[in-house]
Amino acid sequence: MRFDGDKVDEIKIAYIGGGSRGWAWRLMSDLSLEQSLSGTVYLYDIDYEAAKTNETIGNNLKSQWFYTAVNNIESALKDANFVIISILPGTFNEMASDVHTPEKYGIYQSVGDTTGPGGLFRALRTIPIFVEFANKIKEYCPDAWVINYTNPMALCVRTLYNTFPKIKAFGCCHEVFSTQNLIVKAAKEIEDIECSREDIKTNVLGINHFTWIDKATYKDIDLIPIYEKFVDKYFDTGYEGEVSWQSSYTSSANKVKFDLFKKYRIIAAAGDRHLTEFVPQLGYLENPETVKKWKFHLTPVSWRIKNREELIKKSQKMAKGEENFKISPSGEEGVKQIKALVGLGDLITNVNLPNYGQIKGIEKNIVVETNAYFTKDRISPVISGELPDTVNILLAPHIINQKMIIEATIKKDKDLALHALLNDPMVRKLTYNDAKKLFDEMFENTKEYLKNW
């Protein structure tokens, strides 16, 4: 990197999963808008042609960044300053098994990538890949900052640290941002307070996709009582804002979030689709009809396949100049984090890191989601306090599984992986025999990635 006053040039970013048609495009847009940073993004992907297409799209922007696709990870990582990881572990065939095989046993998952049977098997495929990433980073760019967007987030980040303890890695998720925006809307509607997400301060604590906010303020105004009035107002109908929950598989009316606030008196800070999978005992996922009543969606893999096909066509059109790339802020904070880490201003935002003591009541090294302070070449977790016991009870099986799943994968221990499935709240309604049948069927469906177990 080269420092030039209030600019930093010649930054090298290695993008693992550089053929991405989502995260990569968001990064390109945000990098183009940030004039204080420039350099080269090396795009590595097992789908080299997808990375080449993104190379063309990125360079067509004629920004201060140059994009180059490489066909080996070593070239991307060598002497990189930053590493970004956003991959799909496996194919949509394995994902279809993750999400839909449990439905034969009455288990419905709205996402299936973090917890539940789907989260488990996605993790079994993903952890060995991240072991390899960590070892490559240790060899080729040990001082790089590593930003992970891949799910299951907590297990990916923990694997990086378990494999290379000195790694400088953290995980980013935008779920909390959406909840902060909801608090901002509550402030406007209930008290006519004009503010933005960046204007409010929230205390974030929990684990990824099962994150909570116990304090929220704007200047000297406590926003929790205002949020409570907002919940009371929209508890029965839900709150959709300008967009109907029915318009997209990833949308909801926040009814689950409101119900959790009523039950636990603390703001659940993730989307309804993710929250429900951690607490199946509360009845949000009983069946598709129940899901509709709570106004969120079971996201089918068939939709993801169709969406991918549309994005492939879109990428080809943009590469050929037949469709314009629309540069606009993505709402993500990866570029803001890079800017802070190279010394161009400080930042406080929520990230996923091992627990060094920032959350009381959760054991050390469990990957938790809290606020952290970003400054030049340093990230310091913000002490966030402790969740109520009533919420910690809900977290407990998922925290135990975070350890058990990694151990099972590293040891290739099929029996231990089965016990992790049995411990998951989604599976507890099954008999042991049915749970074992489900496990064996899902294992068979993803065996291509589970060799030598």
Q: Which residues are catalytic?
A: 174
Angle between helices 175-191 and 224-234 in degrees, nearest 10: 80
Q: How far apart are CA 315 and CA 56, in angstroms?
A: 10
Residue 377, SS3 per DSSP: coil
Q: For 383, which DSSP code?
A: P
Contact predicate 184/144, CB 8 Å = no
Neighbours of 52 (CB within 10 A): 20
| The token pair that represents 130 in the structure block | 């991240």
Q: Where are the alpha helices (DSSP H) in 213-368?
A: 224-234, 255-264, 272-278, 288-293, 301-320, 334-341
Identify the residue whose tokens are 């570029």.
335
Residue 239, SS3 per DSSP: coil
Contact predicate 355/363, CB 8 Å = yes
Residue 9, strand partner residues = 2
